[in-house]
Structure 1
Amino acid sequence: METENVSTVRFFWVTFLNVLITVVEILGGLLSGSLALLSDAFHNLSDSASIVISYIAQRIAIKPETPQRTFGYRRAEILSALLNAGLLIVIALFIVIEAVKRFMHPDHVNGDIMTVVAVVGLLANFISAGLLHAGSRHSLNIKATYLHILADGLSSIGVVITGIILIFWHVKWLDPVVSVLVALYIAYEALPIIQKTINILMQAAPDIDYDAIKKDITSIPQVNSVHHVHAWLVDEHHTMFSAHINCEDIKLSEVEPIYRQISKLLQDKYHISHVTIQAECQRGINEKMFDIDRD
């Protein structure tokens, strides 16, 4: 679906626009002497790599499950999001280091060239962001790339404003200050993605109400308790859940309807994608819901 997967055509045009912006801004940055413009250019260069990585990851993620990959390849997009967000942090650090050097040794900046080039970059970034907007709401992978583009748009706005100011006033410290602000914004947007992707890769428990789940499951007739619970995310959309339940001493044929009822409950109410239940009679009946104490 187009809302979930960004088309090849859109990826192509976003990549083309970013490569074009990169070339124009590198030339403009060298001619104008603007660190902010060069920073924006390198950021756009990273966007191009990010877009290619995102596209490849998206194609890999839709491959079906195999005997070797029983959960499929969905985490390819999570790895891509982590890589892209990490790249943003590296770029932010690079910009800050260069900005500090400029503070110590300020250079003259040509505001006219800087402004014209930044306006071209700003327009191209807005077009690229529009092409990726729909997919960014459904995928951490596309969101990471989308944030690359938005950060570029914001930095381009900062460069435009800086260029206009420098046309009239030669404030040498303004260019590195804008560069640092852009770097801080890039890091601010990237860190939450890094945190979320690491949580998924570390199989952290999703944010669901386990006490409510226990109450709902044990309210089912012939289910006495729940223990040995595990829940984790394969990606940001697919939650896995497994648990042991203690039932009355009933036939296996009578347990199967309970399985179906629990699975439907967890899928409909808690949006859990895959449910695995093991029924027991007395074994583990006094165990806690989790193998370890929760805070």
Structure 2
Amino acid sequence: MSHHHHHHHHDHGNLKGKNLLFSIFLNVLITASQVVGGIISGSLSLISDALHNLTDVISLIISYVANQLSKKKASTNRTFGYKRAEILAAFVNSSSLIIVALYLIKEAVERFLNPVAIQSGIVIWLAILGIVANGLSVLLLKKHSEGNMNMKSAYIHLLTDMLASIAVLVGGFLMKYFEIYWVDSVLTAAIAVYLIYMGYDLLKTSTRALMLFVPENIDLEKIIEAVHEIKYVNKLHHIHVWNLNDDEVHLEAHLDFSEDITISQFDEIQHEIEHLLHDEFGINHINLQPEFKKQEASKDFIVQD
């Protein structure tokens, strides 16, 4: 069995951690303000925004813990370390987005059927606070969200909350100047639908990674065709390809040879395959089991084993 990997990792972990902590502080401040303001003013959209902010706080704490865990080194009983912690965090965060959204829709329907007068002044000022604080958090996390599922989940929470605060602000003005109080319920429902839309895609991606599905951008048939072009290769089979985390894509397979080659020849062929798979398909951890005329029950490309 042979194993090799190319690993390109730029560690911005400390900056990520500091930005997450600052965002947590801002969101605790917003949540407390909006809960009090929502109760005083009677605004459901403000309370829904506060509830969403509370999930932001929880999601940011989860993201922060996952970010710190992912830096821990591997050990004899944790050979991958905590590299999958951030994918797990993304799954939890995206699930919470959808659950909160469904609850908000239920509350919005009930309020729409039984509208109440709302103190719009408090709503307007707290919505402005939400826009400023969440906007700052969004700017802090934007660059970290590219190519990292965990940071993306935190970023989406904050981005949707900033948009929700903008919607609440618009609603506040409509209530203040036109006394259109039902807009509070409509905005709450709109915020919830948007949360489901944003959360679903991330939930699907993180679930695929947790289930060890083949990454969506990788075509196994093209990998097989490319490897079969290499001299002495007879058949690549028993193939498994999966994301360990956002940075690492692993492939393990059996490699059947057409001739009884030497170990040094195998090393050269393996080196060629490693470069091919890394450069063409972005696979950076490769584990190959060489074979020659080995009798097996199945030589299928994909085998349930």
**1:226 matched residue in structure 2:** 236
**1:70 matched residue in structure 2:** 79
1:278 match: secondary structure: strand
| 8 Å CA contact retained: 2:149, 2:246 | yes
**2:100 matched residue in structure 1:** 91
Check if 1:241 corresponds to 2:251.
yes
Show CA shifts across 1:85-139 (max 9, x none).
Answer: 1111121112111111112221111222211111111111100111111111121
| 8 Å CA contact retained: 1:6, 1:132 | no
Higher RCO, Cα 8 Å, sep 6+: 2
- Find the aligned partners of 1:34 and 1:2 in 2 and give their Cα distance: 43
Q: 64-73 or 271-280, which moves further after superposition? A: 64-73
- Find the aligned partners of 1:182 and 1:6 in 2 and give their Cα distance: 30
1:232 match: secondary structure: strand
CA deviation after TM superposition for structure 1 residue 288, in Å: 2.8
2:252 match: secondary structure: strand
| 8 Å CA contact retained: 2:69, 2:82 | yes
| 8 Å CA contact retained: 2:233, 2:256 | yes
CA deviation after TM superposition for structure 1 residue 72, in Å: 2.2
Of 33, 44, 69, the residue aligned with 2:42 is 33
Amino acid of the structure 1 residue aligned with 2:283: I
How high is the TM-score relative to the length of structure 1? Answer: 0.94
| 8 Å CA contact retained: 1:5, 1:135 | no
Show CA shifts across 1:237-280 (max 9, x none).
Answer: 21110111221112223222112221222122211121011111
Structure 1 portions without partners, runs of 5+: none
| 8 Å CA contact retained: 2:16, 2:144 | no
How high is the TM-score relative to the length of structure 2? Answer: 0.91
Give the 3 Å change call, closer, same or farther, for CA 71–2 of structure 1 in structure 2.
Answer: closer
Identity of aligned residues (%): 36
Show CA shifts across 1:147-182 (max 9, x none).
Answer: 110111111010000010111112231110100000
- Find the aligned partners of 2:283 and 2:191 in 1 and give their Cα distance: 39
Check if 1:288 corresponds to 2:300.
yes
2:287 match: secondary structure: strand
- Find the aligned partners of 2:221 and 2:190 in 1 and give their Cα distance: 44
Give the 3 Å change call, closer, same or farther, for CA 21–62 of structure 1 in structure 2.
Answer: same
Check if 1:202 corresponds to 2:211.
yes
Amino acid of the structure 2 residue aligned with 1:263: E
Amino acid of the structure 1 residue aligned with 2:190: L
Check if 1:143 corresponds to 2:161.
no
1:107 match: secondary structure: coil
Structure 2 portions without partners, runs of 5+: 1-9
CA deviation after TM superposition for structure 1 residue 61, in Å: 0.8
- Find the aligned partners of 1:90 and 1:222 in 2 and give their Cα distance: 54
Amino acid of the structure 1 residue aligned with 2:236: V
Moved over 6 A (4+): none
When the two chains are superposed, the root-mean-square deviation of aligned CA atoms in Å is: 1.7
Q: 196-205 or 220-229, which moves further after superposition? A: 220-229
| 8 Å CA contact retained: 1:111, 1:163 | yes
Amino acid of the structure 1 residue aligned with 2:128: V
Of 283, 289, 295, the residue aligned with 1:278 is 289
**2:163 matched residue in structure 1:** 154
CA deviation after TM superposition for structure 1 residue 24, in Å: 1.4
Show CA shifts across 1:62-98 (max 9, x none).
Answer: 1122121222211111111111111111211121111
- Find the aligned partners of 2:260 and 2:176 in 1 and give their Cα distance: 84
| 8 Å CA contact retained: 2:70, 2:84 | yes
**2:130 matched residue in structure 1:** 121
**1:257 matched residue in structure 2:** 268
- Find the aligned partners of 2:253 and 2:104 in 1 and give their Cα distance: 49
| 8 Å CA contact retained: 2:37, 2:122 | yes
